[in-house]
Amino acid sequence: MDERARGARHPVRVPRLPGGAVRRGARASRRLRVRDGDPSGGGRPRLVGRGGRGRGNRPGEGTQPLPPGPRRGGDRGLSRRARRVAVGARDPHHRRRAGLGIRARAAGQSPCGDPGGGVSLRRLAGAVERGVRRGGGPARRLAPGDDLAECPRAGHWRGSHGHAGGAAGLAAAPAADGGARSRARRRHPSRRRRVRDHASGPGRAAATSPDRRRAAGVAVTIPSYDVAVIGGGPGGSTVATQLARGGLSVGLFEREVFPRFKVGESLVPATMLLLERLGVLASVAEGGFQIKYGATFQDQETGLGHTFYFLRGMPWPNWTYNVPRAEFDTILLEHARKQGVQVHQPVSVGAVAFDAEGVTLQADSGAERTSYRARFLVDASGRDGFLASRVGRRQRVPNLGKVALFAHYRGADRFPGIEEGNIRLYLFDGGWFWWIPFANDVTSVGAVLHARTVRAHPGPPEELFESMVRRCLPVHQHLGSAERVTPIHRVANFAYTNAPIVGDRHLCVGDAIAFVDPIFSTGVFIAMRTGELAAAAVLEAFADGDFSARRFAAYERKVWRGVAPFFKFIHKYYEPAFLDLFLQPNNVFGAVTAVLNVLSGGSFIRTPLRIRVALALFFGVVRVNTWLRRLSGRPVESRLEW
């Protein structure tokens, strides 16, 4: 019972033995064997004697396995929960431990369910701590051959040297990807309800039978998937990888050829948890990316400034990476390919059409147009907002309409010791600059300006960017004679929300949901975290056979609950009363701890009561400071009007 047939791995489940059979004695299990159904169509199990005698068997003839046809669907008479257990799915009442929805696992087991495989964050953090020098010094980045064997024993991310010391030296550990294909994949519960014709070609067979597809007017030869994902960025790669691991066939459609240039190069610490659960942490560690331990904020107008270091003792480590997105996104997409995702690239999806059984996509690759079928669609198209531009709407966030001009420089100033990798954000009278150092002596420098400032400038973007560099004294000083190695890139409209983000047989992830001001480096984390949440929701939908918009209401609530605190911090960040306290922090009642918890990615966890109380007190003090500034005649207007 509760096992799969050896040959075709079909689910086998016995509903209940007849009462008479149970009353035959305590030793009945030794005398009888239970068949998983009646080939003639009967739904009740058969009791077969030790010699093979039973209904439909001749004397002396042993029992024979059922052919695939009668065996399939033998569990349909069960309740929904019983069917899930019959095919090996997790009980819906299975308890989870607190955190980002991480299922508890035995000690020593890798996040992918592969004992002893991969690289865990605990081992990686141990290597980071061993690479920190006690007296400070320049940061050392990944080098092949560095040791990753030892790991800290503490339950949280704590090291022995505090925040002082140099940045980490990490090893190029064996990637967890190598054994991914050889691992036996769990068969997803959704497959209990359908027959899959294993045709050749890209993707597995459609969920419906050929006869039903012909009746619907869909050609049998159309490549079909369980799920189609539009977009190959961090959000698309994450959701595609998780769905493929869940046993679904996934087709991913990416318009651009990787590697490609992309903004959003600073990660938050909670991203490390997502990389670990995705099974790609080892590959990212081998990339040699710059490690950072914090961020520096400086206001040129008031002279205030402060460096924040990521907290210890949190569910994530107290460090993370600065990543050139061309390399980082390529690692994630290649990892998805290794997990069985069928990647179509470069392919542009031009139109989609939903029907009762799924969605049809029209994809263009050069002059060739191909149709694809899927039972479900995930929009991970980023700021393009594929579905929002066709069946939804985009709402701009008031006063957050900004334009970013940015480029990469080689030879800019590097800061000593542990601060070498820290990002820096400089506020000045025209907007603010980001300063993100990479591992190869390259620094990303970007200016975020009000849209009207850019529109009013008559010259090319290069002239405007250089003029803003001269106005921001710290950036002008640290750039010095550095060489610009990329063109000046421009990205507009830095804050919006899309609606709806869920619908019948589709949902959105990442920037296809919303985009917030990049000042707190949350873009990649939001994309990957919503991709993770979306994968869980889609897998449950396939298990239940329900793809209605109502089915994904819980996913939508989790997304907006996690994104809302970032929007609040963005609005407050431009208020002088907030900056007075933010740049002169006092951890009374744990206010600073609460702020750093949210900005590290903690808003997507069920925030503890003490954190919520501390945040409420902090914003209450901000309101009091606004009142005091108004009484003293100091400005209280938000800088959002830049």
CATH topology of domain 402-492: D-Amino Acid Oxidase; Chain A, domain 2 (3.30.9)
Q: Can you tell me the distance from the alpha carbon of 607 to that of 594, in angstroms, rounded to the nearest whole number?
A: 10
- Does 271 score more than 90 pLDDT? yes
- Does 264 score more than 50 pLDDT? yes
Tokens linked to 190: 């959704």
- Does 513 score more than 90 pLDDT? yes
Region of poorest pLDDT, from 354-363, 432-441, 590-599: 590-599
Residues 260, 285 contacting (CB under 8 angstroms): no
At 189-219, the pLDDT tens digits run 444 333 333 333 344 433 444 445 445 555 4
User: What is the DSSP secondary-structure string of 586-601?
Assistant: --GGGHHHHHHHHHTT
Unique residue bearing structure tokens 């907030």: 578
Q: What is the CATH number of domain 196-255+324-396+496-514+523-560?
A: 3.50.50.60
At 124-136, the pLDDT tens digits run 666 665 555 444 4
User: What is the DSSP secondary-structure string of 287-351?
Assistant: TTPEEE-EEEEEETTT--EEEEEPPSSSSS-S-EEE--HHHHHHHHHHHHHHTT-EEETT-EEEE
At 218-258, the pLDDT tens digits run 545 788 999 999 999 999 999 999 999 999 999 999 999 99
**Res. 92 pLDDT band, cuts 50 70 90:** very low
Q: Which residue has the higher pLDDT, 414 or 21?
A: 414
Using N-to-C axis directions, what is the helix angle for 591-599 and 609-631, rounded to 10°? 110
Write down the pLDDT at residue 288.
Answer: 92
Residues 9, 187 contacting (CB under 8 angstroms): yes
Unique residue bearing structure tokens 């002082």: 164
**Res. 402 pLDDT band, cuts 50 70 90:** confident
At 6-63, the pLDDT tens digits run 444 445 454 555 565 555 554 444 444 444 444 444 444 444 444 444 444 444 444 4
Write down the pLDDT at residue 341.
Answer: 96
Using N-to-C axis directions, what is the helix angle for 609-631 and 553-573, rounded to 10°? 30
- Written as one letter, the residue type at 314 is M
**Res. 102 pLDDT band, cuts 50 70 90:** very low
- Does 408 score more than 50 pLDDT? yes
pTM of the model: 0.69
3-class SS letters over 431-448: EEEEEEECCCCEEEEEEE
Write down the pLDDT at residue 383.
Answer: 87
DSSP 8-state symbol, 635: -
Write down the pLDDT at residue 50.
Answer: 43
The average pLDDT across 293-315 equals 91
Residues 491, 404 contacting (CB under 8 angstroms): yes
**Res. 530 pLDDT band, cuts 50 70 90:** very high
Q: Which residue has the higher pLDDT, 95 or 241?
A: 241
**Res. 89 pLDDT band, cuts 50 70 90:** very low
Q: Can you tell me the distance from the alpha carbon of 212 to that of 104, in angstroms, rounded to the nearest whole number?
A: 42
Write down the pLDDT at residue 589.
Answer: 80
Mean pLDDT estimate for the chain: 75
**Percent of the chain topping pLDDT 90:** 43
Q: Can you tell me the distance from the alpha carbon of 344 to that of 266, in angstroms, rounded to the nearest whole number?
A: 28
Write down the pLDDT at residue 366.
Answer: 83
**Res. 297 pLDDT band, cuts 50 70 90:** very high
Question: 3-state DSSP helix/strand/coil percent for the chain, to nearest 5?
Answer: 35, 20, 50
Write down the pLDDT at residue 146.
Answer: 39
At 105-114, the pLDDT tens digits run 333 444 433 4
**Res. 623 pLDDT band, cuts 50 70 90:** very high
- Does 559 score more than 90 pLDDT? yes
At 562-589, the pLDDT tens digits run 888 888 888 888 888 999 999 998 888 8
Q: Which residue has the higher pLDDT, 516 or 324?
A: 324
Residues 492, 403 contacting (CB under 8 angstroms): yes
Q: Can you tell me the distance from the alpha carbon of 221 to that of 31, in angstroms, rounded to the nearest whole number?
A: 50
Q: Which residue has the higher pLDDT, 610 or 75?
A: 610
Write down the pLDDT at residue 220.
Answer: 53
**Percent of the chain topping pLDDT 70:** 65
Residues 267, 525 contacting (CB under 8 angstroms): yes
Unique residue bearing structure tokens 């004695």: 25
Q: Which residue has the higher pLDDT, 139 or 277?
A: 277
- Does 2 score more than 70 pLDDT? no
Write down the pLDDT at residue 222.
Answer: 84
- Does 430 score more than 50 pLDDT? yes
Phi, psi of 474 (to 5 degrees): -60, -40
Write down the pLDDT at residue 124.
Answer: 67
Residue ranges of domains in the chain: 1-94, 121-178+263-296+303-322, 196-255+324-396+496-514+523-560, 402-492, 575-641
Write down the pLDDT at residue 626.
Answer: 92
Q: Can you tell me the distance from the alpha carbon of 507 to that of 494, in angstroms, rounded to the nearest whole number?
A: 22
DSSP 8-state symbol, 454: H
**Res. 310 pLDDT band, cuts 50 70 90:** very high
